[in-house]
Amino acid sequence: MTVAAFMFPLLFLLVLAGIPIAFSLAVVSAGAGLIAFGSHAFGQLYGSFYSAATNFILAAIPMFVLMGAILERSGIAERLFRVMQMWMSRLPGGLAVATIAMGAVFAAAAGVVGAVEVMIGMMAIPAMKRYRYDNSLIAGTICAGGSLGTMIPPSVIAVMYASLAQMSVGELLAGMMLPGLLMVGLFILYLIVHGLLHPQEKIVTADDDLTHMKLSEKLRLTATSLLPIFGLIFAVLGSLLAGIASPTEAASVGALGALLLCIAYGRFSLDMLRESLAITVRISAMILLIVAAGTMFMGTFAANGGSRLIRTMIETAGLGDTGMIALFLLIVLLLGFVLDWTANVLICVPLFTPFIRAAGIDPVWFGTMVIVVIQTSYLTPPMASSIFYLKSIAPPDMTYGQMCRGVVPFIILQLATLAALALFPQLATWLPSQIVGF
């Protein structure tokens, strides 16, 4: 158990030293594997690598990434933002509300966090600047909207979580739906209240042709922009939740649907397809390499007595089921400050799942809470991934301090969602019992 106890500190040292996460995991795994297995270590490590590489559920990840990449590069997102802005601009804080709504819809269509944030940020920042929104509110809204790719199905994180926890992808996605909608509702309510309390942030000019568009034109634009995306989302999630398609098949339907939409809108080109395929290969390779390295890490951690170490800690601390859940969620949050979501899920899910199942805790409920916590860590300074994504596209006058202040209200609302989920497990468990597989 001594070797297992030193594996995590060594991993953090390598990550903080700037070594990529996949290689950090592999190096620590190799060292611990040599201690546990001796001359047979590399055979054992290859077995872990092979099992991860042949996991058929993970084949859904490249297709979801491709779907998001095509939607991002085809101009469909611009049409969506135009529709959201058109219908919501007259609300208090209307542009901010439109940005959150855009984040929710595109998260459901893409499922990739960073891509959603960068894309809506590039569209929303100029519009919100034009209407004199405060930099902190702009930053917080874009970070929060981009983070919805974690919580709104279909989510790449949920696919990977379900694969590692050996549970139904459809059940977990269904369990995330109501908490995800609750979170979006809280975000929008906050922005409307903020807009009422700060009326200077309402639209102060009338130079946008959307405010003068005829109703017939608005309905036409909505029908040609919003309804096809909803149809795509329904095809992906509906086929998955109904049990008609496997996660990989549903993701393939999404990628094909995104390509057909791109062609229908006249935005298809070989350059666009080449760029989409290139980013799909890059992101998928990164994720799957981390998956393989993480599987090796957890295998050697268990072989060196890691599970006994965790069990001893829980028993020594005298934690009940509630205390154990709180401890696990706290670990996920703290790891989220240092590691990206792939490494976080890979380390925590295999480690926690046996204890969760042994205690009789609903895995869908626990998994949904873990994903909410990962989303919260994604927003939480000082190591907030969302802020670093935003800084890559932010104007020079938007400071890091303004970004940190802007995300605080949304972190509080995410924690409120987590509290509601903890108090009312039915938020996560009711829908899967009603619709998965019908």
Which of helix, strand or coil describes residue 222?
Answer: helix
Nearest to 8 by CA among 369, 288, 354, 313: 313
Report the distance separating Cα 10 and Cα 30, nearest Å. Answer: 12
Name the helix (H) or strand (E) containing 87: helix 76-88
Domain ranges of the chain: 59-288+306-435
Q: Where are the alpha helices (DSSP H) in 94-134?
A: 94-110, 113-130
- pLDDT at 364 (0 to 100): 95
Report the distance separating Cα 177 and Cα 193, nearest Å. Answer: 24
- pLDDT at 112 (0 to 100): 60
Say which residues have a Cβ less than 8 Å from residue 328's Cβ, sequence separation at least 6. Answer: 348, 352, 355, 356, 366, 370
Q: Is the peptide bond before 247 cis (omega within 30 degrees of 0)?
A: no
Say which residues have a Cβ less than 8 Å from residue 299's Cβ, sequence separation at least 6. Answer: 29, 33, 44, 45, 47, 48
Say which residues have a Cβ less than 8 Å from residue 432's Cβ, sequence separation at least 6. Answer: 168, 170, 171, 172, 174, 175, 364
Task: Go through 398-423 and write b for each residue having 16 or more CB atoms within 10 A of its CB, e for each that does not.
Answer: beeebbbbbbebbbebbeebbebbbe
Query: Backbone phi, then psi, for 160, in 5-degree steps?
Result: -70, -40
Report the distance separating Cα 71 and Cα 255, nearest Å. Answer: 9
Nearest to 80 by CA among 27, 25, 37, 119: 119
Report the distance separating Cα 74 and Cα 339, nearest Å. Answer: 31
Q: What is the mean pLDDT, run by run of 10 residues, along the chain of 438 residues? A: 80 81 84 81 74 74 82 75 80 87 79 68 82 89 88 84 88 92 95 83 50 76 83 84 81 88 87 88 80 80 77 75 90 80 81 89 95 90 75 84 92 96 95 72
Sign of CA dihedral 332, 334, 335, 340: positive
What the block records as the tokens of 402 is 């303004």
- pLDDT at 111 (0 to 100): 59
HSE, CB side, 13 Å, CA atoms: give it for residue 284: 19
- pLDDT at 200 (0 to 100): 54
Q: Is the peptide bond before 396 cis (omega within 30 degrees of 0)?
A: no
Report the distance separating Cα 163 and Cα 150, nearest Å. Answer: 16
Which of helix, strand or coil describes residue 64?
Answer: helix
CA separation, residue 133 to residues 15, 212, 312, 432 (Å): 37, 22, 52, 40
Report the distance separating Cα 113 and Cα 117, nearest Å. Answer: 6
Report the distance separating Cα 370 and Cα 349, nearest Å. Answer: 9
Report the distance separating Cα 179 and Cα 424, nearest Å. Answer: 10
Instruction: Decide: 21 and 15 in contact? Cβ < 8 Å.
Output: yes
CA separation, residue 164 to residues 96, 202, 247, 354 (Å): 36, 46, 14, 11
Predicted structure pTM score: 0.81
Transcribe 165-181 into DSSP letters. Answer: HT--HHHHHHHHHHHHH
